[in-house]
Amino acid sequence: MRTMIQGGWVVGHRNGSHYILRNGQCVIEGDKIIHIGRAYQGELKKTVNARNRLITPGLISTHLHAGNNTSNHLYLDNGRPEAIGRNYLNWQARRRDGVREDPNRLSALFGLAQCMRSGVTTAVEIGCGGVSPEIFVGAVDELGVRVYTGPSYRNALVYSANDGRLEYDWDQERGGRGLEVAVQFVRDFDGAAGGRLRAILCPGHTDTCDPRVLVQTAEYAAELRVPITIHSAINPHETLRVLDTHRLSPVELLAKQGLLGPQVILGHCVFISGHSWLPYSQSRDLELLGENGATVSHAPYKYMQMGACLESVASYISAGVNVTIGTDITPSDIVKEMRLAMLGSRISDRSFLSSTPRDVFDAATVNAANALGRSDLGRLEPGAKADIAIFNLDKLNFGFVHDPIRALVEAGSGADLEALLVDGRFVMADGRLLLIDEDEILACTQAEGRSMLNAIPNWLWGQRSADEAVPLAYTIEGDGT
């Protein structure tokens, strides 16, 4: 069945570059795009009117934790000062191995559903949403989204001692055991959900994995032909710890273990040698990243919350790094992340000429697809997958639109997304996800948030109750029922 989406602006792709077609047409058949152009003459079963709309390739988030992540909301700026107030180290509250005791399918859907609402059709998800692989694969199937995922593994679990100090519980065998589970996941589930679920190896971080586990990860990835993602240089603590342990920066460690290359997605990779927050500028990290064509997943919002920037998107790109965009944790809005990536680069370089809408739109589309080895994603051209986002730019927040990509990056958000297709199927229309009950996911997330608030350990705030201790913008009166 052939369907034509009649634009509007259509973001086509040819000769390695996006271009914009005004009053363009995008014709799909099955899960593929068969035509981008004007005045299509072939037979059609259906025409979708998308006049005044922007039709883009489905966006790709290269770093997402799909679970509820309510802890992040709660800790906000009140976390450990030594972990920058809201870094992930804040919620490593207790020893924990494996998946949650009470896996909840709806909770695992929250992050995925949220980033789909901003135009994401493909997400690289780390850790199967904190639920069992079977449940997560079922959830992906149900949502209709495209996901690269796998269980995360590491040697060290970081947890809080009774006095609140962070401790590393290092187990020499844990990383290898986790890797075996991850390899089994590849064998069991790669290609599930009609091919929309693909496996990726997810070693935890450069400071939580034994170098031998990293080497084995690279070997398995080559054998199984799957990509890798690893958190790298995500906070000064990690970078300094790796320097202390190995006398190498995280980037140098990864290079030494064979884990720098286009198909290894480095989560964050902010605190590299020479970063203004680090007392260390002695290694050639940026050059190494560039020489190896390494891929970085940049999720700027989380860093800006902490007062930090990647320094800078423009300099990473000019060094040869394949910069992509991640949506990390809630609020997961890739359009806003694109804007912040561009603006963060300008602030970091103190120049309005640093980074452009084109840089960050490429990052969220073709660059990400290249990192996954997918020439059929992140672009609209004949033969590519019919993964498509339709944004409504005919709204007051945009005003007059001359350049639709600039308008989206400068003034847009996920709230402007109107429809989403994955594999040629509408998974969202009229601003609502079609294949799951959004209200049910929301109710579940809200209930889990309340129970997490009540369960926050009191080491962080002394003996005060969580309600007293979590910072509020203003006093809230009433009992909340």
The nearest distance, CB 233 to Zn ion, in angstroms, is 12
**For Zn ion, what does the binding mask look like between residues 49 and 78, x meaning CB under 5 A?**
------------------------------
Which candidate, 15, 12, 117, places its Cα nearest to that of 54?
A: 12
- Cβ nearer to Zn ion, comparing 151 with 267: 267
CB neighbours of 374 closer than 8 A, spacing ≥ 6? none
Strands (E), 30-108: 32-37, 46-57, 59-64
Nearer to Zn ion (CB atom), residue 126 or residue 364: 126
- Please report how close the Cβ of residue 67 comes to Zn ion at its closest, in angstroms: 11
Residue nearest to Zn ion (CB): 267
Residue 266 to residues 25, 256, 368, Cα–Cα distance (Å):
36, 15, 12
| 112-133 residues labelled b (16+ CB within 10 A) or e (exposed) | bbbbbbbbbbbbbbbbbbbbbb
Smallest gap from residue 126 Cβ to Zn ion (A): 6
Kindly give the pairing relationship between strand 120-125 and strand 59-64: parallel
CB of 85 to Zn ion, least distance (A): 17
CA separation for the pair 278, 96 (Å, rounded): 30
Question: In this complex, which beta carbon is closest to Zn ion, that of residue 203 or of residue 267?
Answer: 267
Minimal distance, residue 159 CB to Zn ion, in Å: 17
Q: What span, in angstroms and rounded, lies between the C-alpha atoms of 267 and 219?
A: 20
Nearest CB to Zn ion, comparing residues 88 and 391: 88
CB of 136 to Zn ion, least distance (A): 16
Position 51: which residue type? Answer: R
> Tokens standing for 102?
């009470």
Question: CA 210 to CA 204: how far, in whole Å?
Answer: 10
DSSP code of residue 302: H
Nearer to Zn ion, 12 or 267 (CB): 267
The smaller minimum CB distance to Zn ion, of residues 301 and 398, is found at 301
Shortest spacing between CB 263 and Zn ion, in angstroms: 18
Residue with Cβ nearer Zn ion (140 or 329): 329
Instruction: Give the SS3 label for residue 101.
Output: coil
Query: Could you tell me if 24 and 55 are in contact, meaning their C-beta atoms sit under 8 angstroms apart?
Result: yes
Strand ranges in 283-396 using DSSP code E only, listed in sequence order: 295-298, 322-325, 388-392
* Of 371 and 428, CB closest to Zn ion: 371
Question: Minimum Å distance from CB 231 to Zn ion?
Answer: 5
Q: Which of residues 240-279 bind Zn ion (CB under 5 A)?
A: 267
Count other Cβ atoms within 10 Å, centred on residue 287. 13
Binding site for Zn ion (CB under 5 A): 267
